Amino acid sequence: MTFSGNRSLTVVAVAVAAVVLAACGKKEAPVADVQVIKIGHVGPVSGAIAHLGKDNENGARMAIEELNAAGLKIGDKAVKFELLAEDDAADPKQGTAAAQKLVDAKVNGVIGHLNSGTTIPASQIYNTAGIPQISPSATNPKYTRQGYAGAFRVVADDVHLGGTLGKYAVETLKGKNIAVIDDRTAYGQGVAEEFKKGATAAGGTIVGHEFTTDKASDFNSILTTLKAKKPDVVFFGGMDAVAGPMLRQMKSLGIQAKFMGGDGICTAELAKLAGDAMKDEAVVCAEAGGVEGEQKVGMDKFRADFKAKYNADVQVYAPYVYDAVKIMATAMVNAGSADPAKYLPALKSITYKGVTGDISFDEKGDVKNGALTMYTYKGGERSQIAVVR
């Protein structure tokens, strides 16, 4: 059907008027005044150490769900926390892309990244955008020594981690001839160099230092070179996905040395990756954190709750991610604002009692009085040796 121009306008006008009248007559339920706060999380949820990245992400999700269930207010506004999770695949380039994506999404803060090699380049992007970042696991000292006001970590750094392991290798394991391997990542190289310093200072002799990559699977050449030097201890700076096959090849070559590493290998998964190559008490590693005494009750409860929720054991870092999220939210509540510039001072001065212990930060953003937990493996399970500070 065809109408003239004036008739068309009249029909449209009547239709519009009807819609307006209907809208005016209809009473909509009031929209709740809820502020959405976006928390970014980045970790490797694909690739060889995806099990560690998923562990981290689950820790973040658990904290976010608990915060929302608590019905928090920031200032006079009810808030809802939203997790924006990104995958960096433990790759620096993908890490910076993920960081920029979170900045573009206008997140209020970031928890991550897992690896030092992704955390450090991403930190520049967050710093430029003025977004606070708490890493739950990056241990390379450089991260908090760049002068960035918003860079924090909730675990001890490689100076403490590597140095303590080096001293332990000589004084407790009685290592005299010590071999070192690292994967050339920011984490692996950093912890290996600090280990060497600690072992040398304690009187040990470094008989060789070989290199691999975080994606390698064949170590026969470097292990054969080191075997000729008859090491008592082999230290590996890297992650469990590489350490497991390395242990298998050490066994096949008949290398009887104790095997050591930092928190990158100190996971529940290592025993599965190494299989029958892991003898009881033949591996010693350290987690960059730890609780003891009364504080252990909170950690034990977290691990039980995590297992019940995800049907998976905590690998390493989930409790530190969980605490990092809660710390950031607490700083926002204390400041009465989720604006990064306004809650940053509250984050700097925070004192928080978490499942990983009492947390506060020094002037660089490092956790004060950071602990280490020394572990070995028995019957394919991690077994705690001691908490040291």
Q: Which of 186, 184, 185 is nearest to 209 (CA)?
A: 184
Name the one residue in this structure whose structure tokens are 């290798």. 169
Res. 305 pLDDT band, cuts 50 70 90: very high
pLDDT reported for residue 116 = 97
The pLDDT mean for the chain works out to 91
Is it the case that residue 387 has pLDDT exceeding 50? yes
pLDDT reported for residue 32 = 56
pLDDT, tens only, 62-87: 999 999 999 999 999 999 999 999 99
Give domain limits for the chain: 34-156+293-370, 159-287
Average pLDDT over residues 90-112: 98
b/e code 250-272 from CB counts within 10 Å (16+ = b)? bbeeebebbbbbbbbbbbbbbbe
Average pLDDT over residues 282-290: 90
Residue 290 vs residues 171, 304, 369: alpha-carbon distances, Å: 21, 17, 11
Is it the case that residue 284 has pLDDT exceeding 80? yes
pLDDT, tens only, 308-326: 999 999 999 999 999 999 9
Average pLDDT over residues 90-118: 98
pLDDT reported for residue 371 = 86
Distance CA 170, CA 176 (A): 6
Q: Do domains 34-156+293-370 and 159-287 have the same CATH topology?
A: yes
The more confident residue out of 294 and 214 is 214
pLDDT reported for residue 9 = 35
| Annotation: CATH topology of 159-287 | Rossmann fold (3.40.50)
pLDDT, tens only, 24-68: 444 433 445 899 999 999 999 999 999 999 999 999 999 999 999
Is it the case that residue 11 has pLDDT exceeding 60? no
Distance CA 332, CA 339 (A): 8
pLDDT reported for residue 389 = 76
Res. 388 pLDDT band, cuts 50 70 90: confident
pLDDT reported for residue 30 = 42
Poorest-confidence range of 37-51, 119-133, 190-204, 275-289? 275-289
HEC profile for the chain? CCCCHHHHHHHHHHHHHHHHHHHHHCCCCCCCCEEEEEEEEEECCCCCCHHHHHHHHHHHHHHHHHHHHCCCEECCEEEEEEEEEEECCCCHHHHHHHHHHHHHCCCCEEECCCCHHHHHHHHHHHHHHCCCEEECCCCCHHHHHCCCCCEEECCCCHHHHHHHHHHHHHHCCCCCEEEEEECCCHHHHHHHHHHHHHHHHCCCEEEEEEECCCCCCCCHHHHHHHHCCCCCEEEEECCHHHHHHHHHHHHHCCCCCEEEECCCCCCCCHHHHHHHHCCCCCEEEEECCCCCCCHHHHHHHHHHHHHHHHCCCCCCCHHHHHHHHHHHHHHHHHHCCCCHHHHHHHHHCCCEEECCEEECECCCCCECCCCEEEEEEECCEEEEEEEEC
Distance CA 107, CA 132 (A): 10
Distance CA 113, CA 76 (A): 32
Is it the case that residue 380 has pLDDT exceeding 80? yes
Q: Which amino acid is at 107?
A: V
pTM score of the predicted model: 0.84
Distance CA 340, CA 347 (A): 10
CB 360 within 8 A of CB 353: no
Average pLDDT over residues 145-170: 95
Is it the case that residue 7 has pLDDT exceeding 70? no
Poorest-confidence range of 13-22, 62-71, 296-305? 13-22
Provide Rg for the chain, Cα atoms: 26
CB 316 within 8 A of CB 267: yes
Is it the case that residue 174 has pLDDT exceeding 80? yes
Taking the alpha carbons at both ends of the chain, their separation in whole angstroms is 86
CB 48 within 8 A of CB 215: yes
pLDDT reported for residue 369 = 87
CB atoms within 10 A of CB 155: 26
The arrangement of secondary structure in 34-156+293-370, i.e. its CATH architecture, is 3-Layer(aba) Sandwich (3.40)
pLDDT reported for residue 46 = 98
Average pLDDT over residues 365-381: 93
Distance CA 359, CA 343 (A): 17
Is it the case that residue 162 has pLDDT exceeding 60? yes
pLDDT reported for residue 27 = 41
pLDDT reported for residue 5 = 42
Q: Which residues, other chains included, contact 165 with Cβ-Cβ below 8 Å and sequence gap of 6+?
A: 191, 195, 198, 235, 260, 261, 262, 284, 285, 286
Res. 18 pLDDT band, cuts 50 70 90: very low
pLDDT, tens only, 215-253: 999 999 999 999 999 999 999 999 999 999 999 999 999
Distance CA 298, CA 296 (A): 5
